[in-house]
Copies of this chain bind each other. A is one copy, B any other.
Amino acid sequence: MVERVLDRYRERTVEALLRHIPEQSPPYLYELAADYPGRPCKGLRAALCLATCVAFGGDPARALNPAVTVELFHNAFLIHDDIQDGSELRRGEPTLPAAYGVEVALNVGNATNLLGLQRLMANRRELGGELAWRLFEETELMCRQSLEGQALEIAWIRDNACGLVPGDYYRMCLKKTSWYTFLYPCRTGLLVAEGAATEANRLDRFGWYLGAAFQIQDDVLNLAGTEADYGKEIAGDLWEGKRTLMLIHLLERCTTAERVRIVRYLSRTRAQRGPDAAEDVQWLLDRLAAYDCVESARQAAAGLVEAAEREIDRVLGAVDDEGGQEADEAREFLFALPGFVVERGR
């Protein structure tokens, strides 16, 4: 069921998204802004926005433009991310910076953000000035949260933070992942369904739990998945020195001698590491397994899924069961999403 709803909403959203990409384009600009959105993906954020709107009694046609908007900002993040991480693969194909260089990719990322801005402006005509302005405010907040979360993660790597506790990770996660992937789509879906004056934060806890579970699962897949499943470089997070929940657990659990080796490994950039780096990464994978770090991350994700299910139950319990079959299905989708997110292959 979740996959059917995802497919339907993704199809609608991608179709609308591609319709708004200008045909007149200088080379290597808008045509490439259509690249990532056209690759196979779940369209999770768009579907969440549309399903939330429908579940709370709104008209999905009115939420289509906000759904396109979140996908555009998401794809712009991905492009900039791929530049920052020097990633090679995205959704199973070469990243834009790998294929076209940083110069072109940075412009395409900015063009994608600009297309998102254009969609926000189009809301004024489609949804009225008051709601359009509220959606602008939500978008500014979402961009701010994402940017601050990412800055935090980068600063940890740069300053070689080795004394982090799980709470630090969860706070970073809320900003970097949960906000734009879950809170923002839920908030904009609620706003379209109920109007500019509604309490748009009612699904924040749901989105926060779900986002943390999603990010932990993403981190687990990065280490334990296969490249075909995951669509990205395997153990890339270890190569980049990302502070995942698993790495934080490992630093808490390992011996002093092991800690010295981990800290020394993390203190070096990818370029600074010698030819033994692959051996170090393999050793880290072994240690993560030896201390059950992957397993305890999986358990943390499972606990967060349960918490998200309790939350959506609570919030949807206060909603009238009206709106016919599509609304029933959308509510079912929201209930099932936490479990789906953690079982996903990629």
Q: Which residues of B contact A27 (CB under 8 A)?
A: 151-152, 155, 158-159
- In whole angstroms, what is the CA distance A26 to B118 when docked? 29
Can you list 20 A-B pairs with a CB-CB distance of less than 8 A? A26-B148, A26-B152, A27-B151, A28-B155, A29-B151, A83-B106, A84-B102, A84-B107, A85-B103, A103-B154, A103-B158, A110-B143, A110-B147, A114-B140, A114-B143, A114-B147, A118-B140, A121-B136, A121-B137, A121-B140
For the complex of A and B, list the 9 residue pairs with the smallest distance between their C-beta atoms, beginning with the closest. A27-B155, A26-B151, A29-B151, A84-B103, A26-B152, A26-B148, A107-B151, A103-B154, A114-B143
Q: Which residues of B contact A117 (CB under 8 A)?
A: 140, 143
**A106 interface neighbour in B28, B106, B152, Cβ under 8 Å:** B106
- In whole angstroms, what is the CA distance A312 to B144 when docked? 40
Query: Is A133's beta carbon under 8 Å from chain B?
Result: yes
B29 touches A148 (CB 8 A): yes
- In whole angstroms, what is the CA distance A143 to B114 when docked? 8
A159 to chain B, nearest CB (A): 7
Interface string of A21-65 (1 = CB under 8 A from B): 000011111000000000000000000000000000000000000
Query: Is A80's beta carbon under 8 Å from chain B?
Result: yes
Residue in B closest to A146 when the chains form the complex, CB atoms: B110
Contact residues on A (Cβ < 8 Å of other chain), bracket: 35 or more
Residue in B closest to A110 when the chains form the complex, CB atoms: B147
- In whole angstroms, what is the CA distance A196 to B1 when docked? 49
Interface residues of A in 93-130 (CB under 8 A from B): 101-104, 106-107, 110-111, 113-114, 117-118, 121, 124, 129
Query: Given A27-B155, A152-B26, A155-B26 in contact, is the A144-B103 Cβ separation under 8 Å?
Result: no
**A154 interface neighbour in B25, B84, B104, Cβ under 8 Å:** B104
Query: Is A201's beta carbon under 8 Å from chain B?
Result: no
Query: Is A160's beta carbon under 8 Å from chain B?
Result: no
The residues of A with any CB-CB pair to B shorter than 8 Å are 25-29, 80, 83-85, 101-104, 106-107, 110-111, 113-114, 117-118, 121, 124, 129, 133, 136-137, 140, 143-144, 147-148, 150-152, 154-155, 158-159
- In whole angstroms, what is the CA distance A136 to B119 when docked? 13
B154 touches A107 (CB 8 A): yes
A191 to chain B, nearest CB (A): 16
B110 touches A80 (CB 8 A): yes
A107 to chain B, nearest CB (A): 5
A106 touches B129 (CB 8 A): no
Q: Which residues of B contact A152 (CB under 8 A)?
A: 26-27
B158 touches A28 (CB 8 A): yes
A168 to chain B, nearest CB (A): 12
B107 touches A150 (CB 8 A): yes
Q: Which residues of B contact A129 (CB under 8 A)?
A: 129, 133
B106 touches A147 (CB 8 A): no
Q: Which residues of B contact A106 (CB under 8 A)?
A: 80, 83-84, 106
- In whole angstroms, what is the CA distance A84 to B103 when docked? 5
B28 touches A147 (CB 8 A): no
